Amino acid sequence: MPASSRIEDLAQQARFVFKGTVRQLKAATMPEVPVTDRTIVVRVDEVIHAPEILSHYTGQDITVQLGTRKKVEVGQEAVFFTNGWLFGKSVAVQSIDHHPVNRAMAALRHTTGDPVKNLADHDLRAHFDNADLVVSGRVTSVRMPQGMAGAPTRLPPSEHDPLWQEAVVEVDTVHKGSHTPKTVIVRFPSSHDVLWYDAPKFRPGQEGHFVLHRPQRADHGPQRTAGPVAAAETAGEEVYTALHPEDFQSIHHPEGVKTLINTSRAADDH
Query: Looking at the structure, do residues 91 and 46 belong to the same domain, yes or no?
Result: yes
pLDDT higher than 90, residue 18: yes
Return all residues near 157 (Cβ < 8 A) that are at least 6 apart: none
116 in any annotated domain: no
Q: What is the CATH number of the domain that holds 49?
A: 2.40.50.120
Residue 232 CB partners (closer than 8 Å, separation 6+) = 145, 147, 148, 239
Convert the pLDDT of each residue in 177-228 to its tens digit. Answer: 998 899 999 999 999 999 999 999 999 999 999 999 998 644 444 345 555 4
Question: Region 130-147: what's the mean pLDDT?
Answer: 91
**Proportion of the chain above pLDDT 70, given as a percent:** 80
Domain boundary among 81, 111, 141: 111
Q: Same structural domain for residues 44 and 167?
A: no
Stretch 123-127: mean pLDDT: 83
Answer yes or no: is 249 within a domain: yes
**Does the residue 9 lie in any domain?**
yes
Residue 75's Cβ-count burial label (10 Å; 0-12, 13-18, 19+) is: exposed
CA nearest neighbour of 68 among 23, 119, 6: 6
Contact 185, 212 (CB under 8 A): no
What region, left, alpha or beta, does residue 26 occupy, with left being phi > 0 and alpha being psi -120 to 50 degrees? left
Kindly state whether residues 26 and 139 are assigned to the same domain.
no
With beta carbons less than 8 A apart as the criterion, state whether 210 and 176 touch. Answer: no
Residue 94 and residue 182 in one domain: no
* 167/205 same-domain check: yes
Q: Do both 102 and 219 map to the same domain?
A: no
Asked if residue 21 belongs to a domain, the reply is: yes
Is residue 173 over pLDDT 50?
yes
> What one-character DSSP code corresponds to residue 152?
P
Confidence of residue 149 (pLDDT cuts 50, 70, 90): very low
Residue 126 lies in a domain: no
Higher pLDDT, 203 or 254: 203
Residue 151: is its pLDDT beyond 50? no
Range with the poorest average pLDDT among 17-21, 181-185, 239-243, 264-268: 264-268
pLDDT of 11 above 80: yes
Asked whether residue 144 falls in the same domain as residue 100, the answer is no
185 shares a domain with 138: yes
Let me know whether 102 and 140 are in one domain. Answer: no
Answer yes or no: are the C-beta atoms of 201 and 244 closer than 8 Å.
no
If one compares 260 and 20, the residue with the highest pLDDT of the two is: 20
Is the model's pLDDT at 14 over the cut of 60?
Answer: yes
Specify if 123 maps to a domain.
Answer: no
Query: In this structure, are 79 and 195 located in the same domain?
Result: no
Pairwise CA distance, residues 43 & 16, whole Å: 14
Residues 145, 166: Cα–Cα separation, whole Å: 6
Taking residue 230's Cβ as centre, other Cβ atoms within 10 Å add up to 22
**Rounded to two decimals, what is the model's pTM?**
0.65
| Number of domains the chain contains | 2
Is the same domain home to 135 and 107?
no
What rounded mean pLDDT belongs to the chain? 84
Q: What is the pLDDT of residue 201?
A: 96
* 262 in any annotated domain: yes
70 shares its domain with 139: no
How many Å apart are CA 26 and CA 40, to the nearest integer? 5
* 3-state secondary structure at position 248: strand
Domain that holds residue 18: 3-111
Q: What is the pLDDT of residues 56-112, one digit of tens each?
A: 999 999 999 999 889 999 999 999 999 999 999 999 999 999 999 988 888 776 666
What is the arithmetic mean of pLDDT over 228-250?
A: 75
Burial of 123 (0-12, 13-18, 19+ CB in 10 A): middle
Tell whether 124 is covered by a domain: no
Q: Residue 187 burial (CB < 10 Å; 0-12/13-18/19+)?
A: buried
The alpha carbon of residue 43 and the mean position of all alpha carbons in its chain are separated, in whole angstroms, by 28
